[in-house]
Amino acid sequence: MTREPRGIGRGDRGASSRPSSPAGAGGRIPVALLGATGIVGQRLVRMLNGHPLFRLAEVAASDRRAGRRYGDAAPWRLAGDPPPAAARLTLRRLSDPVDSRLVLSALPSAAADAIETALAESGHIVCTNASTHRMHSAVPLIVPEVNADAIELVGQQRWFPSGGALVANTNCVVAGIALALAPIHRAIGIRSATVVTLQAISGAGLDGLAAMEISGNVVPWIKGEEEKIAPELNKVLNADIEVGVAVTRVPVPDGHTAHIFLKLRRQVSLGEVERIWTEYRRPATLGDLPSLPERPLVVRREPDRPQPKLDLHAAGGMGVSVGRIRKAPPPHDIAFVALAHNGVRGAAGACLANAELCATNGLFHIDR
């Protein structure tokens, strides 16, 4: 259930050092985007175009791109062209002052630590895709359909009295796994999970891997990836599940696939698990979060689905497709496959949905 976060209210914070956030065109909240020229930044630029709550007001990137129009400086890798309004914006340096109170960060982790912390301390609400702050005890790590109540943790952050907040989304593969596991864990209980991932090239960033390294190949290791999955998954699920993980990079442009084997707390039929997924809906208590689909889980009954080529764009890229559910030999009980768009549900869309959650939970006021 999503409640109003404790201590979060317009009268609970000092306003003297808070950045102003006047509602702009159509009453929408101005947004600053950091790391705007990277692949996650590009997806956020596209998703913010025409957004009902937010408008892109500022874009920032590395010094070498700063000072140029976004449309000229961004090495655009998505289909089509950058939205015209975004293309006209002038890229700022990451060190430049930020006017917008709401900041979406697509920065790499090395840069995110100091920059995001400084912004939160100066009264900005920062929604970050970086891994830097995810496991901090006072930083909510949120998949909105699963643990929106975690937004209450911002009240424990040292910069909260000055109006600042820092909210994180998960690793791109955890986002899909968490959504697939959450309804099962709540209804049945999960003792342990074994996860084998097949992760897309785009997860390696704008330039991905060298063509000769990944073409016709499978790389059975991704630096720093395996270490993130178990702790992030348990933090989102508020659980203590034993998780074994093997991660793999595969020559697929977009879409992270995971083979998942579960040991459950009680015996269950495959029909019951499928019914749990089929009946799962976005919690009504979330209110109007425009980026989230009503049905975030899509059940595929074909024996060879889900597949990135066919199922990547379920629910506009924000859906998680599950299939190949079957009985598994001991020590596991069931096995299945989950697929999510790593760039949308796992990164840009996750960050944007968390910003929407902040907007609907009293962290700042939207003037209509």
* Backbone angles phi and psi of 121, in degrees to 5: -65, -30
Residue 332 among the catalytic residues: no
Q: Is there a contact between 336 and 250 (Cβ–Cβ < 8 Å)?
A: no
Under 8 Å between Cβ of 22 and 169? no
- Is 172 a catalytic site residue? yes
Kindly state the helix (H) or strand (E) to which residue 274 belongs, with its residue range. Answer: helix 270-279
pTM score, two decimals?
0.92
Nearest to 357 by CA among 150, 155, 135, 172: 150
CB 334 within 8 A of CB 327: yes
- H or E element that contains 197: strand 190-198
Contact, 364 vs 102, CB < 8 A? yes
Longest dimension (CA), the chain: 61
DSSP character string of 112-153 = HHHHHHHHHHTT-EEEE-SSTTTT-TTS-B--HHHHGGGGGG
Question: Which of the residues 127, 172, 351, 358 is marked catalytic?
Answer: 172
Three-state secondary-structure class, residue 257 = strand
Encode the chain (368 residues) as per-residue pLDDT tens digits: 334 343 344 334 333 345 655 454 458 999 999 999 999 999 999 999 999 999 999 999 999 999 999 999 999 999 999 999 999 999 999 999 999 999 999 999 999 999 999 999 999 999 999 999 999 999 999 999 999 999 999 999 999 999 999 999 999 999 999 999 999 999 999 999 999 999 999 999 877 778 778 989 999 999 999 999 999 999 999 999 999 999 999 999 999 999 999 999 999 999 999 999 999 999 999 988 999 999 999 999 999 999 999 999 999 999 999 999 999 999 999 999 999 999 999 999 999 999 999 999 878 653 32
Contact 219/249 with Cβ under 8 angstroms? Answer: yes
Chain-centre distance for alpha carbon 109: 15
Q: In angstroms, rounded to a whole number, what is the distance separating the alpha carbons of residues 224 and 305?
A: 29
In order of 33, 129, 136, 274, 297, the CA distances from 181 in angstroms are 31, 21, 23, 12, 11
- 8 A C-beta contact, residue 50 and residue 24: no
Catalytic-role residue among 124, 133, 185, 256: 256
Residue of 334, 293, 90, 75 whose CA lies nearest to 192: 334
